[in-house]
Amino acid sequence: LFVIDPEPYKIALAQADAAVAAARLNVEQLRAAYSQAMAQQKSAKSEVDYAQSQYDRAADLAEKGINAKSSLDEARNDLDKAKQQLAVAEQGIISAKAALGGNPDIETDKHPSVMSALAARDKAAYNLSQTTVKAPSDGIVYQASSFKVGQYVSVGTPLFALVETDDTWIDANFKETQLTHMKPGQKAEIVVDTYPGRTFEATVKAIGAGTGAEFSLLPAQNATGNWVKVTQRIPVRLEMTDPDAKMALRTGMSATVTVDTGVARGLPSIFGHATAGEHAQ
């Protein structure tokens, strides 16, 4: 039908692709940080083991009176520092693992940051695809004289009408007294005012669930006590079976509809119950 300027949406999609690449790169950096934290923890543990052996040796010599007390204090201080560095390294592992979603072996595209970037990318791609507006079905564009190339259009603004031509039907508002024997599948004949004397074949497809007044903005309130009984009309949809009807009918036309219910009425009930003049849809 028409195309919206796609350039802003192409730029947005390119930015989204870049964000996905950056998120994936960030995950790889988090993996490297986790590996580095593991190496630091291993090194810190070795330092603790060495400091512990040095302290044990200094303590043994101090107990025998060979080593000075200051050497023992220095060895104890080195051991405490090594233990603190080990604790820091272990905390670094916990932090690096949490940054990977608690799983160091997580797939890159399963990481929350990458999933978020992919979702944003999908949205940008969807927005770009919507810049080309296609008709939902075959039809005729109508009332598009004011629609011009380069026009700025606000969201929700109607641009023109599209009258579908693939599926042609008639909505006939029969009186409720005419529906006694009417059922879906019954044959019907349509005479359109535009083509007098020409009959189109149709079939009853569905009978409405309520009267037109029932679904109006201000439906009648029958419980007020002031209600006057008026014969109501119920919409009946008829499916056109005549192949020429698709070319001949236009939305809004007036027509006379006759349905063959297969039941013969008595003479008093014939008048006013045989046909209904309706609008083609």
252 Rama sector, left if φ>0, alpha if ψ -120 to 50, beta otherwise: left
- CA dist 222 and 217 (Å) reads 15
The per-residue pLDDT for 131 is 92
Per the CB < 8 A criterion, the answer to whether 266 and 189 are in contact is no
Residues in Cβ contact with 125 at an 8 Å cutoff, skipping those fewer than 6 apart? 13, 16
Of residues 6 and 145, which shows the higher confidence score? Answer: 6
Tens digits of residue pLDDT in 33-77: 999 999 999 999 998 998 888 888 888 877 777 766 778 788 888
- Measured between alpha carbons, how far is 279 from 81 in angstroms, rounded to an integer? 92
Q: What's the mean per-residue pLDDT of the chain?
A: 84
Please compute the mean of the pLDDT values over residues 116-127 and round it to a whole number: 96
pLDDT average, residue stretch 208-213: 78
**CA separation for the pair 257, 239 (Å, rounded):** 12
Whether the pLDDT of residue 31 is over 60: the answer is: yes
* Amino acid type, 229: K
Helix axes 7-63, 69-99, angle to 10 degrees: 160
Query: What tens digit of pLDDT does each residue of 222-243 get?
Result: 666 666 777 888 899 999 888 7
**Which pLDDT belongs to residue 182?**
92
248 CB-near residues (< 8 Å, 6+ apart):
192, 194, 195, 198, 200
Looking at residue 274, what is its pLDDT?
43
Whether 21 shows a pLDDT value over 60: the answer reads yes
pLDDT > 70? residue 102: yes
Model confidence band, residue 122 (pLDDT cutoffs 50, 70, 90): very high
Task: Return the pLDDT at 216.
Answer: 67
| Cα(31)–Cα(217) distance, integer angstroms | 63
Least Cα distance to 208 among 278, 271, 140 occurs for 278
Which amino acid is it at 260?
D
Domains, the chain, ranges and CATH? 2-129 (1.10.287), 168-280 (2.40.30.170)
pLDDT band at 18 (very low <50, low <70, confident <90, very high): very high
For residue 278, pLDDT beyond 90: no
What is the band of 268 on the pLDDT scale with cuts at 50, 70, 90? low
CA distance 16 to 136: 29
Please tell me the predicted confidence (pLDDT) of residue 224.
62
Share of the chain above pLDDT 90, in %: 34
Does 128 score more than 90 pLDDT? yes
**How far is 201 from 244, CA to CA, in rounded Å?**
10
